């Protein structure tokens, strides 16, 4: 028989006491338990920049008091405000001011109807409120993504600097576009930091839909991305690659939420007006036609304004002076003119687009003096964006064998900025005040990419230490 042996008893490791330690530091006493010092510092920084933004808004225009009066609004702002008044009065979404049926989508006039007419805010106060709201949204986006107050300070300083010389107040659409861009950036940051939770995908999709109802430049790319991510999700589901499937599903939910809200707006528009004016507006073909006839540079092989003016006003007068022509008929006439122009002069049309694109990218100053700090700063920020993109791509390729591919919010904001600028360059409006609508995306891309590059280079020493061991094994 085998002799029983007593089990060997090993000395137990002393366990750490459960619960909080008996001694409390000054940070844990009193309000220290409830208040995070970094969060308090963040709110102090935010309040300081809100005061800074208010100072900029109230002081960069000498005729600020006049902006509170409707009669001092510019023609575009008066059109938006009249549409908002028609919404409140129940007249419908018709242009009763110009009677030329050149209307924007419903988004911006609806905000004017709620905030200015219903709540009684002046047009200037409306824009000031949206300006400061964009500061708050972007500050929270940077804090959420980087968890760093230093990045918040850099970001808000850059963002505030862009608005020092911009005349965009008083009911103009730029105020609405800027704040919806900021809302989109914040929702994307929360989607990324919560590991692609469904609720934040829906909120981000709602933010994108609101943005499209203010200016539908992303409309066609959104439809394409919806189909693309649907195909990718199906592919990963069939291949059972679960690592990337949650992220792809989140982006598909985001785009699906956008599509559902847009389809609802389309349905109501067709039910009420028998057309898509609430979503697409009624002036897209006019902007395309004008862009290909007026705003090309009068140098070299390109046609001058004088050479194009005769043909331009020939079609323009047909579509505006004849009240029997509807906006759908005008749209068809002008689109046919644009397509025939592109077929006949493809290089001229492409050169015109490239000229406007460079305006938005800050590569070409056009009619703006490079002595202006704002245009110089814009060009510098664009250059910084490309440098950061290049550094991140190189660093990511260097470490990709050691780490799983990650999704960068900085890259996403950079792609959105480039996409917005490229699509906007199709249209006639290349003035610098329209460049401001891309500023939140541009500065967010710069700061987020800077944070991404910093995080990547923190990991590279670890990779270098791992590689010799992996080879020896």
**According to the per-residue pLDDT averaged within each range, which of 16-20, 33-37, 400-404 is highest?**
33-37
Q: Which two tokens stand for residue 180?
A: 């919806």
Section 431-453 average pLDDT: 87
pLDDT at 143 over 50: yes
Q: What is the pLDDT of residue 405?
A: 45
**According to the per-residue pLDDT averaged within each range, which of 166-180, 231-245, 329-343 is highest?**
329-343
Helix and strand numbers, DSSP H then E, in the chain: 18, 0
Task: Locate the domains of the chain by residue range.
Answer: 36-183, 194-281
Section 157-184 average pLDDT: 79
Where does residue 258 rank: exposed (0-12), middle (13-18), buried (19+ CB within 10 A)?
A: buried
**Does residue 149 contact residue 38 with C-beta atoms inside 8 Å?**
yes
Q: What is the pLDDT of residue 366?
A: 47
Q: What is the pLDDT of residue 372?
A: 67
Higher per-residue pLDDT: 186 or 407: 186
Q: Which two tokens stand for residue 9?
A: 């008893």
Mean pLDDT check: name the lowest of 179-188, 284-293, 300-309: 300-309
Tens of pLDDT, residue by residue over 36-60, are: 777 778 778 778 777 766 666 555 5
- Find the length of the chain: 473
C-alpha distances out from residue 387 to 124, 384, 400, 406, 414, Å: 37, 5, 20, 20, 12
Candidates 419, 420, 411, 418; CA nearest to 450 is 411
Q: What is the pLDDT of residue 396?
A: 67
Q: What is the pLDDT of residue 25?
A: 46
Q: What is the DSSP string of 316-371?
A: HHHHHS-TTS-HHHHHHHHHHHHHHHHHH-HHHHHHHHHHHHHHHHTS--TTS-TT
**Does residue 311 contact residue 338 with C-beta atoms inside 8 Å?**
no
pLDDT at 132 over 70: yes
Mean pLDDT check: name the lowest of 4-18, 201-215, 407-421: 4-18
Mean pLDDT check: name the lowest of 166-180, 286-300, 382-396, 410-424: 286-300
Average predicted confidence (pLDDT) for the chain:
77
Residue 193 is given by DSSP the state H
Query: How many CA atoms does the CB half-sphere of 267 hold within 13 Å?
Result: 6
């Amino acid at each position: 028989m085998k002799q029983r042996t007593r089990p060997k008893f090993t000395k137990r490791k002393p366990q750490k006491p459960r619960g909080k330690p008996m001694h409390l530091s000054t940070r844990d006493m009193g309000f220290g338990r409830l208040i995070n010092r970094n969060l308090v510092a963040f709110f102090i920084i935010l309040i300081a920049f809100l005061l800074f933004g208010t100072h900029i808004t109230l002081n960069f225009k000498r005729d600020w008091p006049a902006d509170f009066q409707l009669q001092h609004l510019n023609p575009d702002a008066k059109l938006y405000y009249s549409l908002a008044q028609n919404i409140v009065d129940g007249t419908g979404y018709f242009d009763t001011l110009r009677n030329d049926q050149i209307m924007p989508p419903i988004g911006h006039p609806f905000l004017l109807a709620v905030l200015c007419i219903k709540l009684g805010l002046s047009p200037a106060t409306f824009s000031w409120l949206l300006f400061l709201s964009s500061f708050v949204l972007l500050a929270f986006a940077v804090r959420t993504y980087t968890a760093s107050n230093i990045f918040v300070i850099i970001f808000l300083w850059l963002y505030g600097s862009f608005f020092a010389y911009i005349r965009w107040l008083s009911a103009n659409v730029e105020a609405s576009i800027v704040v919806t861009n900021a809302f989109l950036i914040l929702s994307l940051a929360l989607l990324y930091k919560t590991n692609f939770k469904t609720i934040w995908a829906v909120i981000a999709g709602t933010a994108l839909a609101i943005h499209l109802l203010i200016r539908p430049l992303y409309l066609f790319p959104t439809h394409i991305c919806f189909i693309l991510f649907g195909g990718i999700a199906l592919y990963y589901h069939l291949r059972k690659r679960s690592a990337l499937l949650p992220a792809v599903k989140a982006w598909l939910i985001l785009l699906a939420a956008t599509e559902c809200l847009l389809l609802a707006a389309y349905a109501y528009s067709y039910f009420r007006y028998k057309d898509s004016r609430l979503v697409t507006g009624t002036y897209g073909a006019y902007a395309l036609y004008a862009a290909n006839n007026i705003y090309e540079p009068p140098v070299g092989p390109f046609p001058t304004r004088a050479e194009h003016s005769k043909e331009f006003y020939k079609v323009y007068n047909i579509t505006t002076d004849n009240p029997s022509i509807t906006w759908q008929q005008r749209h068809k006439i002008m689109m046919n003119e644009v397509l025939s122009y592109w077929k006949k002069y493809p290089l001229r049309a492409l050169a015109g687009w490239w000229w406007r694109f460079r305006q938005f990218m800050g590569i070409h100053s056009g009619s703006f003096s490079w002595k202006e700090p704002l245009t110089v700063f814009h060009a510098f920020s664009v250059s910084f964006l490309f440098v950061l993109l290049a550094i991140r791509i190189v660093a990511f390729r260097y470490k990709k064998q050691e780490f799983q591919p990650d999704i960068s919010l900085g890259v996403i904001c950079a792609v959105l900025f480039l996409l917005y600028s490229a699509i906007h360059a199709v249209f006639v409006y290349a003035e610098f005040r329209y460049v401001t609508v891309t500023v939140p995306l541009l500065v967010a891309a710069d700061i987020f990419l800077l944070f991404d590059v910093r995080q990547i280079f923190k990991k590279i020493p670890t990779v270098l230490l791992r590689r010799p061991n992996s080879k020896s094994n």
